[in-house]
Amino acid sequence: MKRLLPLILFLAAHAAVAADPQPIHVIVVGTTDRHGWYDSHQEVRNAPPFGGLPLLGRYLQNLRGTHDGHVIVVDSGDLFQGTLESNLFEGEPMVKGYNALGYAAAAVGNHEFDYGPVGPGSVAQAGQDPLGALKKNARLAKFPFLSANLVDIKTGKTPTWAKRYTIVNARGVKVGIIGLSTPDTPNLTTPVNVATLHFGDPVAATVSAAKELRAAGVDAVIVIAHMGGRCKVIDGDPNDVSSCESDQEVMRFLGALPKGTIDAYFAGHTHSQMHQYINGVATLQPAPYGREFAQLDMTIDRASHKVTKTEMAPLMMVCAQVYEKTETCDPKKAPAGAALVPRMFEGHAVAELPAVRAMLKPYLDQVAAKKNEAVGIKTTDRIRRAFYRESELGDLLTDAMRAYMNVDIAVLNSGGIRTELPAGSILYANMFDVSPFDNFPAVVTMTGAQIREMLQKTTNGGGRGVLQVSGLRYTFDESRDAGKPAAQRNRLIEVTLGNGQPLDPDASYRVAMVDFLTSGGEGLEPVMKQIPAEKIRIDYSHPIRDLLIDALKAMPQPLAPKVDGRIKVLNPVGSGD
């Protein structure tokens, strides 16, 4: 009996543990909208650099050192498009960087489709695959690209290069990760690149995927979605959603999703921030361009296979140094006279991972010379952009286009103007950051009625920015038809020519724009389908970025920021950024 006693005690202890297993903590780290920024960078000159995969890698290393095996890293989409360092290689260094950092999954964002076929052109020619560049990156990735609401029209199934969801094992618990793409994707990339794909209802797709995951025995279900929101307050009571815009995709999605379907939601796409509980779901969205990461601690009861608690850490700015007594390296948020001190995270200093830096160095070296080339443009001060309002940069660029292309009107979609111009001598890198997409200049002959319809469709909200214009003035009411779906709204009040004269609905006007708009981007397909092919002229000899450089150089230097009230907003909602 004495010999059996140790065995009996062991079995009793084992049974007790099995009957009442200890809960386990799983840490989920989320990023989004990196847009090719795999290197650290500055928002203003002489400011501390932030972001970059070598630096983020150290944060993850420190976190994994504290929570070994409990850390899952995900991204909510738009990985590649946006920097010379990424675009020159069609996103390859981004994928290799994510591989090195151990990402578990990435959602499929609308800009994942921008590169089109493998090679320099962004639109497939005869014999080319319009999804070629994305498929190449998916093969290179050691993590899956996820989208549960994306199907191949021909097969009715998820494309072979993507998955609806994946399951990650974290120290004995299984976490299901569902990916989602914005259904508006065809309007937010080159439409012909996604003509073979359908972006369906994200709610139905999530309910179906979550049901399958629960049946497979997962302990938690999270969503990574290229569908985001906008909340003005992210450091207050996380249960207070009064500062969040109700018409954003994440709010509609989580409002329609049955309670208990998912345990957490990592958002992207809107280049804003969220740190709220939306209908009981922990919802996190860090700032874009590698500036921040989100961190969620899920407590999982292994006996019931349920998440019993979620804790959202403050959104973390990715810095090697921070201003004393703060968690930021943003000089705009630095206390007066504060010195920079080393960043500590999980008890250790933060510095770049040399191995990741060495892996990315060959790519950076290849673009360095072009990036630092002065283009012959000077500015007196920063020239800012805006998404839902007239902007200094929108006025400047469209004025330059209209004069240089000798047309009546020029328009640019606000989403195609990606950042501001800095003060001083402008480098090629600055112009690339402003206009990173390989779109081409076009001149379209349109009637006044078609121009009005174009403006009506681009002022209806729904997450799309307004058209920046030259040669036109227009007014819209941002609160009108708030209770209607975006496609049914008519917020446009008045349109005139730039000189105040009426826009003749029957007259013809030559309008400069980018080919993204001529192909139906920003929801303009119904308008562009009315226009005969012979009235659309696209210049494929050089991208719009190069034309803008030449057009700005032709203007008197230095360039100064100004707006002249060509876009008026009645009953505004939010700041318009």
9 pLDDT higher than 50? no
Same domain, 290 and 419: no
Residue 75 has pLDDT above 90, yes or no: yes
pLDDT over threshold 60, residue 412: yes
Structure confidence at residue 43 as a pLDDT band (50, 70, 90): confident
Residue 12 lies in a domain: no
pLDDT, tens digit, for every residue of 353-405? 999 999 999 999 999 988 999 999 999 999 999 999 999 999 999 999 999 99
Residue 517 falls inside a structural domain: yes
Give a yes or no: residue 453 inside a domain: yes
Closest listed residue to residue 228, CA positions, set 310, 279, 283, 163: 283
> Residue 492, Cβ neighbours under 10 Å: how many?
20
Exposed, middle or buried: residue 125 (CB in 10 Å: 0-12, 13-18, 19+)? exposed
How would you classify the pairing of strands 472-477 and 492-497? antiparallel
Residue 292: is its pLDDT beyond 50? yes
Beta strands in 262-369 (DSSP E): 264-266, 274-278, 281-285, 292-301, 306-312, 316-317, 321-323, 340-342, 344-345, 348-349
> End of a domain among 359, 388, 417?
359
Report in angstroms the alpha-carbon separations of 373 from 367, 448, 478, 545. Answer: 10, 41, 41, 14
Domain membership of residue 5 (yes or no) is no
Domain contains 219: yes
What does each C-alpha distance from 261 to 19, 178, 210 come to in angstroms?
Answer: 26, 11, 6
- Are 516 and 381 found together in one domain? yes
* Amino acid, single-letter form, for residue 421: L
Residues 299 and 387 placed together within one structural domain of the fold: no
Please check whether residues 229 and 91 belong to one and the same domain: yes
What percentage of the chain has pLDDT greater than the value 90? 86
- Same domain? For 306 and 434 the reply is no
Element holding 25 (H helix, E strand): strand 24-31
| Confidence class for position 304, pLDDT limits 50, 70, 90 | very high
Q: Is there a single domain that holds both residue 57 and residue 34?
A: yes
What CA–CA distances, in Å, run from 510 to 268, 367, 411, 471, 544? 36, 37, 11, 11, 17
pLDDT digits (tens, 9 = 90+) for 165-208: 999 999 999 999 999 999 999 988 888 999 999 999 999 999 99
User: 532: Cβ–Cβ under 8 A, 6 or more apart, which residues?
Assistant: none
* Number of domains forming the structure of the chain: 2
- In this structure, the answer to whether residues 314 and 340 fall within a common structural domain is yes
Q: Flag whether 401 is in a domain.
A: yes
Looking up residue 521, the CATH number of its domain turns out to be 3.90.780.10
Rounded to the nearest integer, the mean pLDDT of the chain is: 94
Boundary of a domain, candidates 324, 359, 394: 359
Q: What is the pLDDT of residue 462?
A: 76
CATH number for the domain that contains residue 302:
3.60.21.10
Q: How far apart are CA 249 and CA 418, in angstroms?
A: 21
CB 476 within 8 A of CB 569: yes
Select from 326, 359, 392 the last residue of a domain: 359
Both 146 and 240 in a single domain?
yes
The model carries a pTM of 0.83
Sorting pLDDT into bands at 50, 70 and 90, what band is 3? low
Provide φ and ψ at 476, rounded to 5°. -140, 155
Supply the pLDDT for residue 12: 46
Is the separation of the CB atoms in 442 and 539 below 8 Å? Answer: yes
Residues 445, 355 within the same domain: no
Is the domain of 213 the same as that of 134?
yes
pLDDT bracket for residue 5 (50, 70, 90): low
pLDDT of residue 7: 52
Q: What is the percentage of the chain residues whose pLDDT exceeds 70?
A: 97
Query: Which stretches of 47-95 are assigned E, i.e. beta strand?
Result: 71-75
Predicted confidence (pLDDT) per residue in 142-167, tens digit: 999 999 999 999 999 999 999 999 99
Q: Which domain holds residue 266?
A: 21-359
Q: Residues 98-113: pLDDT tens digits?
A: 999 999 999 999 999 9
Token couple for 381: 């001060």
> Is the pLDDT reported for residue 461 higher than 70?
yes
How many angstroms separate the CA atoms of 528 and 23, rounded?
Answer: 57
- Residue 172 domain-assigned? yes
Question: Are 263 and 390 members of one domain?
Answer: no
Angstrom CA distances, 386 to 1, 185, 389, 418, 461, stand at 81, 21, 6, 9, 14
**Which tens digits make up the pLDDT trace of 117-142?**
999 888 888 899 999 999 999 999 99
Which residues are CB-neighbours of 337 under 8 A, at least 6 positions away?
none
406 and 461 both lie in a single domain: yes
Asked if the structure places residue 253 within a domain, the reply is yes
Give yes or no for a contact between 261 and 221, defined as CB atoms under 8 angstroms apart.
yes
- Using DSSP's 3-state secondary structure scheme, residue 432 falls into helix
